[in-house]
Amino acid sequence: MSLKKSIPLLLCFVVFGLSSCKLEDDRVNFRFVPLQILSADVPEAFELNETYEIRVRYLRPSACVFFEGFDITKEGVTTRNVVAIGTDFYDEVCTQAVEEQEASFNFICLYEDTYLFRFWTGEDENGNQQYLEVEVPVN
């Protein structure tokens, strides 16, 4: 079979294959949620241009919540807000057992000033954001 004849045949298979795919349920069944950070293992001091592993303990509120990563935002030159992020599959049947988990991220020291890490620990009774604050000097 020539190449000119095989291309239309291949396209037919691709179009048929794509058109036969149908998702039963296209509703979104999850949401991203912040996870309460309990503690953070941060070095006592940084060296400029070095990379450090920062370990964090957080609460997993149920078996339907899975750790996704960290949202680290820069506030000023050397202040970092750190939030552990989870995916909550809210239409699943799951246990409400709270578990402590650990995760880490790598951090590169780029500035000579003292760093301030603000780890999100939840909200108070008035809905105000609460943080565990850790200062790390740079040698």
Quick check: is 1 in a domain?
Answer: no
The amino acid that residue 111 corresponds to is Y
In a domain? residue 7: no
Domain assignment of residue 63, yes or no: yes
Amino acid sitting at position 55 = R
Residue count of the chain? 139
pLDDT at 23: 52
pLDDT, tens only, 81-112: 999 999 998 777 777 778 999 999 999 999 99
* 8 Å CB contact between 84 and 56: yes
Domain-embedded: residue 5: no
The answer to whether residue 101 is domain-embedded is: yes
List, in sequence order, the alpha helices (H) in the chain.
3-19
Between β-strands 129-136 and 79-89, what pairing exists: parallel, antiparallel or unpaired? unpaired
Report yes or no on 68 lying in a domain: yes
Residue range of the domain that includes 71: 25-136
| Banded model confidence at residue 3, pLDDT cuts 50, 70, 90 | very low
Alpha carbon 102 to its chain's center = 13
- Residue with the bigger pLDDT between 10 and 68: it is 68
pTM tops 0.85, yes or no: no
Considering the domain boundaries, does residue 9 fall inside one?
Answer: no
Domain count, the chain: 1
